[in-house]
Amino acid sequence: MKIGIVGGGPAGLYFALLMKNLSPAHEIKLLEQNPADATYGWGVVFSDRAVSFLEQIDPDSYLDIKSSLESWNELVIVHKGQPVPIDGSVFSGISRIRLLRILQEHGHRRGVDLQFETRLEDLDVFADRDLIVGADGVNSFVRQKYSDFFRPSLDIGSNKYIWYGTQQVFDSLSLVFRETQDGVFIAHAYRYSPAMSTFIVECDAATWEKARFASMSDAESRAYCENVFHKELDGHPLLSNKSSWIHFTVVRNRRWYHDNIVLIGDALRTVHFSIGSGTRTAFEDAIALSAAFERHGEDVGAALETFEKIRKPPADQLLRVAQKSLVWYENIRKPMRLDPMAFAYDYMMRGGKLNRENLKHKAPKFVAAYEAYQSGKGSSPSAH
């Protein structure tokens, strides 16, 4: 097959690798508008489940990814200045640029034609392709070009967030909820290398406006956020990489494919960053699409139909959880009234995916501490 891929993020690169695994004879060209070494953002996060399925699907690239992972098995929620540890939250972080380089290297080795700094005006360059994959992210050119067929919806979230890095290294995935005179700020922090962490700052629209970020320079925004989270940063500055305050865009598409053109990853739908599954979803799309071609060979129509049929139910289930999480964060002022332990429990239940028994199995120490708190026998937030 001749395959054209638009977008050199995790979804497009991983799909290229998997199709080469199916048949080295596949002629695959991937076009990316940014330079090979460009990345916007810092580190990305995987659940333990996501890491395990990468090992099963493509052991070669998995070994390189695994060697670059920073892992932890605890989530810490800080509310009213008190840390509440939650056991059983197994995640790993990796530098986004390191992840892309690993996938690029494996693509080169397997004969994928990777072309960077290539901005498309149309898809004529792929006129001879049997399959065209739009893996070009939230602002997808492919989706926009064929919007009459994909019928996308783009809903803009009300909260604002900004993506920073820091040399302050966090021992676990840390969520800090801080009330200030201007409103409520949230930090999502996790290490992605031995010396670096991602540090996302989020707030609602009223807080953002009251703090007057619109009139601040990049340096002033960073200084403000450093002051809000000075305890957690412990003197380490926040680092900017084209960082700017943005809204989360909820992308959905009525149709997943049109003729021989299909969308995957953020071009197809976005998963709110608060559940840490965006990169996992990109990989799962690539895996499901390649599996559909493994089943149907070069029958593109049958493969794309199977891809949507098999992939849509689990993807939709995750999206429901993500949407509930997004709404929880957009209404953060209500749970902020709770005590730290009750707040942490409310956080864990926000997606509607867990009940008390599920949570007890997942995080037995935390649930024991929460039940002691409920009965009045324990007031300490520690779940150790």
Q: What pLDDT shows up at residue 259? A: 98
Query: What are the backbone angles phi and psi of residue 83, rounded to the nearest 5°?
Result: -80, 135
Give pTM, 2 decimals: 0.95
Burial per residue of 361-383, b for 16 or more beta-carbon CB atoms within 10 angstroms, e otherwise: ebbeebbebbeebeeeeeeebeb
Q: In the chain, what percentage of residues exceed pLDDT 70?
A: 97
What are φ and ψ of residue 220, in 5° steps?
A: -70, -40
The confidence band for 48, taking pLDDT boundaries of 50, 70 and 90, is confident
**Is pLDDT of 150 > 70?**
yes
Q: How far is CA 42 from CA 96, 213, 240, 326, in A?
A: 6, 22, 9, 21
Burial classification of residue 244, based on how many CB atoms lie within 10 Å of its CB (0-12 exposed, 13-18 middle, 19 or more buried)? exposed
Which of 127, 112, 154, 128 has the alpha carbon at shortest distance from 267?
154
Q: Is the pLDDT of residue 344 over 90?
A: yes
Mean pLDDT of 330-347: 97
pLDDT reading at 384 higher than 80: no
At 368, is the pLDDT very low, low, confident or very high (cuts 50, 70, 90)?
very high
41 pLDDT higher than 60:
yes
Residue 149, exposed/middle/buried by CB under 10 A (0-12, 13-18, 19+)? middle
Question: How would residue 51 be classed by pLDDT, with cut points 50, 70 and 90?
Answer: confident
Query: What are the domain boundaries of the chain?
Result: 2-45+96-155+249-329
Residue 40 pLDDT > 80:
no
| Residue 321 tokens, joined | 């959880």
Lowest-pLDDT choice from 26-40, 236-250, 326-340: 26-40
For the segment 248-269, the average pLDDT, to the nearest whole number, is 98
Average pLDDT over residues 101-116: 98
Cβ-based neighbours of 100, under 8 Å, separated by 6 or more: 8, 9, 10, 13, 39
The matching CATH number, chosen from 2.40.50.180, 3.40.50.2000, 3.40.50.720, 3.50.50.60, for 2-45+96-155+249-329 is 3.50.50.60
User: What pLDDT, in 10s, does the model give residues 77-94?
Assistant: 999 999 999 999 889 999
DSSP E strand boundaries for 80-123: 82-95, 113-115
pLDDT above 50 for 206: yes
Please report, for residues 7, 36, 97, the alpha-carbon distance to residue 118 in angstroms, rounded to integers and kept in the order given: 10, 11, 19
What is the C-alpha separation between 128 and 273, in angstroms, rounded? 37
Could you report the per-residue pLDDT of 267-294, keeping only the tens digit for each? 999 999 999 889 999 999 999 999 999 9
For 18-35, letters b (16+ CB in 10 Å) and e give: bbbbeeeebebbbbbbbe
pLDDT, average across residues 334-359: 94
Which two three-digit tokens encode residue 32? 């990316």
pLDDT of 171 over the 50 cut: yes
Length of the chain: 384
Enumerate residues 6+ apart whose C-beta is below 8 A from 196: 42, 43, 95, 165, 166, 167, 169
Q: How do residues 212-222 score in pLDDT, each as one tens digit? A: 999 999 999 99
pLDDT at residue 332 is higher than 70: yes
Nearest to 366 by CA among 69, 50, 23, 89: 89
